[in-house]
Structure 1
């Protein structure tokens, strides 16, 4: 693929010019043409400029998948502002960390989503929102724009926010757009890792757009296609591999505010969607739903991060003959390897694919640090244009994730065949996936340690038939304190996102009998085996 570095503004303008009144975005709220989508994005860009947001400023975005999310993301990108997507499953403390760590200057949020009161969370995080901003808790946050009716005293309602920018001259917007370069930051993506808090991955316009275009070419997406998005836009799988993939290809994208299998199947049929993507759990939920009927689908392609059994079911039961297997991580924009839709079915089902042109992959032995021979298993390391700029304001984490010679350490295990194709084996790091969400044990452990009775905490991922893995927690108690497992689980639920909340818990006296290293660290592999036996789970 011949690639010329571009900004999001340039790609959006090109598609609006080429496709005009053709549909670009479909949501339950309606359909937007390419021309209308560009106009909405330009209006947001003007409104941001009117509030003093400039190139390099950070704009928080806390909404479900809808036209507000897309217009806000695109509008910020037009003027070089950096979008900080906030996970809609986050609780107040997690939202506070995200906004503070990323220096968010202006926040756009929906007041309520899926019966979650985000304004209540924001008021808990920054009480000054009901008086005047900035406040003490988030001293850099100067504006809050609300989609909905619950607008605090220091906030601004969405339509009023837009209207305030309408008077800005077009030449001012044009000048702001011209100043943006492909190497400017486009997104700060918070991702779970081995630290106690999520880390902000810095991705540029070129990182994300080039990755999106390369994936679209491998998948064979055409402007006539309609791409159904299963993933939240606050993930790079949703922003890069769905939204921007469709943008670069000139294809329309259909999305729901959040994934629901029944609603997804209805939209797939109604909008005649031809492409889809997602992880193993999403495809399993679609196939298992009571309304699933292959004859109602029009799907011909897409990608899945799934094992061979599910990949084969996608072909046999959903009829998606051109489905491709994909592997990546947020730090690589995110896709590293993906099949070409013309690859032999055995390669696509078996999960064996080539890296993108200009992206290098090597396998390194964890113990020796030596590069492995073909077919040997080791850590997957990546180098090239898709790799992030680094973690925002986290130099220690950057020092750990990059090797001395500049390769990104993925923490995943894999092997390279002699033909250069990568095969994913497993995860080297402790992070596990709950229904597609990365969970770092340290994140959960830190919350559990804030319980007044808990002395130490260890969390592992254990098998779950629906979500793949779920958290299981083991804690020791402080002297003289009492606590049972059910009480601990009940205490944890309102304090962290659902996917991070332990499903199982056990109070233990110590970890010696389970397994500890000579240096005093709990052996997570042995703890996981113990959890599987204790909770009578089937090992996967």
Structure 2
């Protein structure tokens, strides 16, 4: 069990535990843990003076940066509940989440990505770059481990986002274990490309760093050249991120600039074996953990130190301590344990649909579990399509397509077909001419696929794109591909 029962208690203790060690580096700004915790206490005072009472919610709609860290932990130290908002959202999308969450205030960074953020009428908007966060007297308010600490809205790649409620104690227990399995160490220098509005960025990033005493290096917008500069200049050791991050690192010419990297962590279904092999062979990482998680249950599985290369590449590891998994008759992954959310905000119907009376969370993902307890994700239940009576899983077909030497990225959807009900359509980002001996055509790729997979899996259509539509966490937005096909 964790040493602390609440996030504010854990964060405040970091000043004593790590003292003058560097806590955050954001551009020219460098703060020790003592200095960062003092800023957080002042921000808590500012929230209290604004009228944030215990259990009140406030939203943060801003990019990764020291202000996000101070605002988020200041808010929870004042007894408030954090509602992070996706920085890629348009004004109407954000307004929907802000109003549904009942936020009493919204903290924004005006002008980020060229957007001036506006909140629904009556909700005060505070610029994180203003002096608001430093304006309060040092303050903290007692909270309980069972109190809700954050409401993170699902990424909404298949429907309207829902607010997932988690409490302090479950967050602390899970991400203390995450630190062990991901090999996050005291004094690690953690480059944070995962956005803070997402579980991977906020919990496996910020909460984990406060638990361990790692230096946080926020990256507001992913740019590979800037990332390489920071790795070299700041001697970065820890770099989790989506598979696309590691693709980018493999393309870096000056590999010597990456020499300090030791540990990486990436996510579940769409990691080609070839990618993991190349990361191990061409980059300096000593460990690359793979895992599976979702907003509704945090991190469910992680690979273990010493796992074979094949296991890391082809499975998402085994369940975290205190988490159970099983596969339902239709192939859906079910999860039960202390990490499962407290429910969807103001949506008892959706909560009851997601968590059955026995406490199993229905994840919407399809998978298998081998004899060693390793989870393999084969796709999304909603993504699966049926070709003439056979179940086709996009993630599996995408894995095959990525083996083609001219394919850089691939995403597959099911589209209507008069004869078979549905057939596959592949959206492909080709590699550049420099990487290959030429360009592949749709006909060639379909013929190549016929030699490698069962007929029902072979895409009937191929469309080439310059880039796939990704959300800010690196997931392909399949709904956008469906719209494009229609």
Relative to the length of structure 2, the TM-score reads: 0.79
User: 1 CA distance for matches of 2:15 and 2:339?
Assistant: 26
Partner of residue 82, structure 1? 81
> Does residue 405 of structure 1 match 2:358?
yes
Equivalent residues of 1:514, 1:526 under 8 A apart? no
Partner of 1:350: 314
Deviation at 1:415, TM superposition (A): 1.4
With structure 1 as the length reference, what TM-score do the two structures score? 0.71
Distance 1:316 1:144, change over 3 A: same
| Structure 2 alignment gaps of length 5 or more | 386-400, 428-455, 466-475, 477-486
Match of 2:278 in 1: 313
Aligned-pair distance for 1:319? 1.9
For the aligned residue pairs, the C-alpha RMSD in angstroms reads 2.9
Q: Does 1:13 align with 2:22?
A: no
Write out per-residue CA displacement over residues 19-69 of structure 1, whole angstroms, 9 at most, x where no aligned residue.
111101122242211011101111110000001001111111011100110
Aligned length: 416
Is the CA contact (8 Å cut-off) linking 2:292 and 2:316 kept in structure 1? no
Measure, in 2, the Cα distance between the counterparts of 1:412 and 1:182: 30
Which residue of the partner structure matches residue 146 of structure 1? Answer: 127
1:184 equivalent in structure 2: 147
* 3-state SS, counterpart of residue 105 of structure 1: coil
Would the aligned equivalents of 2:425 and 2:461 in 1 still touch at CA under 8 Å? no
**Who is 1:299 aligned against?**
261
| SS at structure 2 position matched to 1:192 | coil
Judging changes above 3 Å, is the alpha-carbon distance between structure 1 residues 307 and 335 closer, same or farther for their aligned structure 2 residues?
A: farther
Contact 1:226 1:271 in 2 (8 A): yes
1:236 paired residue number = 199
Q: Is residue 47 of structure 2 the alignment partner of residue 48 of structure 1? A: yes
Return closer, same or farther for 1:361/1:208 CA change in 2, 3 Å cut-off.
Answer: same
Question: Which whole-Å deviations, capped at 9, do the CAs of 1:436-491 have from their partners, x for residues lacking one?
Answer: xxxxxxxxxxxxxxxxxxxxxxxxxxx8966653999x9xxxxxxxxxxxxxxxxx
Unpaired stretches in structure 1, ≥5 consecutive residues: 129-133, 135-140, 149-157, 367-377, 433-462, 475-510, 517-522
Q: State how 1:24-103 maps to structure 2 within 5 Å.
A: 24-103=23-102
Partner of 1:268: 231
SS state of the match for residue 334, structure 2? Answer: strand
Q: Report the equivalent of 2:370.
A: 417
Change (3 A) 1:193 1:52: same
Residues 324 and 161 of structure 1: is their aligned pair in 2 closer, same or farther, counting only changes over 3 Å?
Answer: closer
User: How far 1:97 moved relative to its partner?
Assistant: 0.7
- Structure 2 CA distance for aligned equivalents of residues 192 and 232 of structure 1: 12
TM-aligned CA deviation for residue 162 of structure 1:
3.5
User: For residues 527 and 16 of structure 1, what CA distance do their matches in structure 2 show?
Assistant: 51
User: Secondary structure, in 3 states, of the residue corresponding to 1:426?
Assistant: strand
| Mapping of residues 525-536 of structure 1, within 5 Å | 533-536=460-463
Please give the per-residue CA displacement for 1:269-301, whole angstroms capped at 9, x wherever unaligned: 1111111111111110222245x4145421111
Deviation at 1:349, TM superposition (A): 2.9
Aligned positions of 1:109-120 closer than 5 A: 109-114=108-113, 116-119=114-117
C-alpha offsets along residues 193-214 of structure 1, whole Å, 9 cap, x if unaligned? 5864111111111222222111
Q: For the Cα contact (< 8 Å) 2:55–2:81, is it kept in 1?
A: yes
Counterpart of 1:162 in structure 2 is: 134
Separation (CA, whole Å) in 1 of partners of 2:226 and 2:425: 41
Cα pair distance change 1:514/1:44, threshold 3 Å: farther
1:506 maps to: none
Aligned to 2:448: none
